[in-house]
């Protein structure tokens, strides 16, 4: 190919137009494509995959399962997005998830009446306050003492499960409490309560950061902390706040997770959720280098990860190759999201848009393969 290979591919993009190119260049384009592709694969394997029916006054079906099971990750990834936007990272979220569940269930199990609403609200309150306190602790280490976020949160990550084990005395604490079960497994207006809570919090935070200057301040701290401070942004307060929020959201996620199975498992609750959360943020197009962040990207990223888990069961992928399958999907999405790849793709669509109307004029004389435009 002496000049350029573009015309040879133009046939595939006969319908390419300027509008289409803009859609492709949108940061959310590839994550959404990945999500749609995953859903399509599932539907191909089982045509009824996307169908939702009504069962005992609530919606029932795989999409509902995805929405409910993604709730804890949604909350954790929300906090993680904000932390990452300030150039930080929070590795302790999984430990906070375990501690929050342990505290709430141990309290409910020890209460005289586990099924009373007061007990449950007290337990939820305690777990949330504790999550917030742990987040404030992380924020203190990072913003006041200036410890690198990865180290500061590593402390709680390693110690946290031990704390949770101490609280549950090494056992898996199980309770029977109808009001508590509502949070993770209940329904309201036909929709899972867990989803409503997680999406509600997500929407609230999204409004807060995008309709006020808060989001811009967070980004400015992430792009250049020193410059933002000189410009009058209270960088320390902002960093401290995002870590505190991450702790609070992880606490809430821990409550939903433990309520879903009505058990606090100090060893396994939220295990590796920090990695899933970071992954969701990255898939959503937020850079780990801090600065610009995309909550809608995180939202799609979380849905991709939740769908991926269900896909393994639905398609019947052997447990032996499950990690490989997940890695391939994630690698594909991350590749498509990488700046170099995006630039290449954008270039191609731009040229397609330009060359499509008059393909023959660009055609190199020596092209004699079957790829020639018809």
Q: Where do contacts with other proteins occur on this chain (CB under 8 A)?
A: 46, 49, 55-56, 60-62, 65, 69, 155, 157-163, 165, 170-172, 174, 185, 257, 260-263, 265, 267-269, 271-272, 309-310, 312-314, 316, 319-320, 322
**From the CB of 332, what's the least distance to other proteins, in Å?**
22
Nearer of residues 262 and 300 to other proteins, judged by Cβ: 262
Nearer to other proteins, 16 or 127 (CB): 127
Q: How far is CA 229 from CA 44, 50, 129, 288, in A?
A: 53, 49, 30, 21
User: Cβ of residue 75: shortest distance to other proteins, in angstroms?
Assistant: 15
Tell the smallest beta-carbon distance from residue 188 to other proteins (Å).
15
Residue 61's alpha-carbon distances to 55, 72, 90, 246, in angstroms, are 9, 19, 33, 31
Between 20 and 60, name the residue whose CB sits nearer to other proteins: 60
366 neighbors 2 (Cβ within 8 angstroms): yes
Least distance from other proteins to the Cβ atom of residue 137, Å:
15
* Residues 172, 262: Cα–Cα separation, whole Å: 10
Task: Tell the smallest beta-carbon distance from residue 205 to other proteins (Å).
Answer: 25
If the CB atoms of residues 62 and 81 are measured against other proteins, the closer one turns out to be 62
Which three-class secondary structure state does DSSP give residue 70?
Answer: coil
Report the nearest approach of other proteins to the CB of residue 41 (Å).
Answer: 14
The residue (of 157 and 303) whose beta carbon lies closer to other proteins is 157
Cα–Cα distance list, 250 to 36, 135, 280 (Å): 28, 9, 15
**Residue 321 vs 331, nearer CB to other proteins:** 321
Neighbours of 151 (CB within 10 A): 11
Nearer to other proteins, 275 or 331 (CB): 275
- Plot region of 296 (φ>0 → left; ψ -120 to 50 → alpha; else → beta): alpha
Minimum distance from residue 211 beta carbon to other proteins (Å): 35
Smallest gap, in angstroms, from Cβ of residue 182 to other proteins?
A: 13
> Where are the strands (E) in the chain, listed by range?
53-55, 58-60, 173-174, 187-188, 191-192, 263-264
By beta-carbon proximity to other proteins, the closer residue of 127 and 257 is 257
Phi, psi (degrees; rounded to nearest 5) at 75: -65, -45
Nearest residue (CB) to other proteins, 181 versus 342:
181
Taking the complex as a whole, how short is the minimal distance between the CB of residue 24 and other proteins, in angstroms? 33
Q: Do 249 and 75 contact (CB within 8 A), yes or no?
A: yes
Integer CA distances (angstroms), 321 to 46, 301, 318, 335, in order: 20, 22, 6, 21
CB-CB contact of 202 with 252 (8 Å): no
DSSP string, 131-157: HHHHHHHHHIIIIIS---HHHHHHHHH
**Cα dist. 77→38, 72, 207, 225, 324 in Å?**
20, 9, 16, 23, 23
């Amino acid at each position: 190919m002496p000049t350029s290979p573009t015309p040879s591919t133009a046939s595939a993009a006969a319908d390419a137009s300027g509008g289409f190119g803009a859609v492709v260049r949108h940061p959310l384009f590839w994550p959404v494509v990945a999500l749609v592709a995953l859903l399509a694969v599932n539907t191909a394997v089982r045509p009824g995959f996307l169908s939702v029916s009504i069962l005992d006054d609530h919606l029932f079906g795989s999409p509902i399962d995805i929405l409910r099971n993604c709730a804890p990750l949604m909350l954790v990834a929300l906090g993680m997005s904000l932390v990452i936007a300030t150039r930080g990272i929070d590795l302790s979220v999984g430990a906070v998830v375990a501690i929050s569940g342990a505290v709430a269930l141990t309290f409910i199990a020890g209460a005289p009446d586990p099924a009373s609403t007061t007990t449950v609200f007290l337990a939820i309150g305690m777990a949330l306050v504790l999550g917030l306190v742990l987040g404030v602790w992380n924020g203190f280490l990072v913003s006041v003492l200036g410890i690198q976020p990865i180290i500061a949160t590593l402390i709680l990550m390693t110690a946290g499960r031990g704390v949770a084990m101490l609280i549950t005395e090494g056992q898996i604490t199980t309770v029977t409490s109808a009001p508590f079960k509502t949070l993770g497994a209940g329904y309201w207006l036909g929709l899972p309560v867990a989803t409503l809570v997680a999406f509600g919090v997500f929407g609230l935070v999204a409004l807060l950061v995008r309709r006020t200057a808060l989001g811009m301040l967070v980004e400015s701290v992430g792009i250049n902390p020193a410059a933002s401070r000189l410009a009058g942004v209270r960088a320390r307060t902002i960093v401290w706040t995002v870590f505190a929020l991450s702790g609070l959201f992880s606490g809430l996620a821990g409550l939903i997770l433990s309520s879903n199975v009505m058990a606090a498992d100090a060893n396994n609750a939220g295990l590796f959720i920090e990695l899933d959360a970071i992954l969701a943020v990255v898939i959503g197009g937020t850079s780990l280098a801090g600065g610009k962040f995309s909550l809608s990207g995180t939202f799609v990223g979380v849905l991709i990860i939740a769908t991926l888990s269900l896909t393994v069961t639905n398609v019947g992928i052997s447990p032996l190759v499950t990690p490989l399958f997940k890695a391939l999907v994630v690698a594909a999405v991350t590749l498509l999201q990488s700046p170099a790849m995006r630039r290449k793709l954008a270039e191609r669509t731009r040229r397609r848009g330009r060359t499509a109307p008059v393909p023959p004029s660009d055609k190199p004389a020596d092209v004699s393969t079957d790829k020639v435009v018809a």
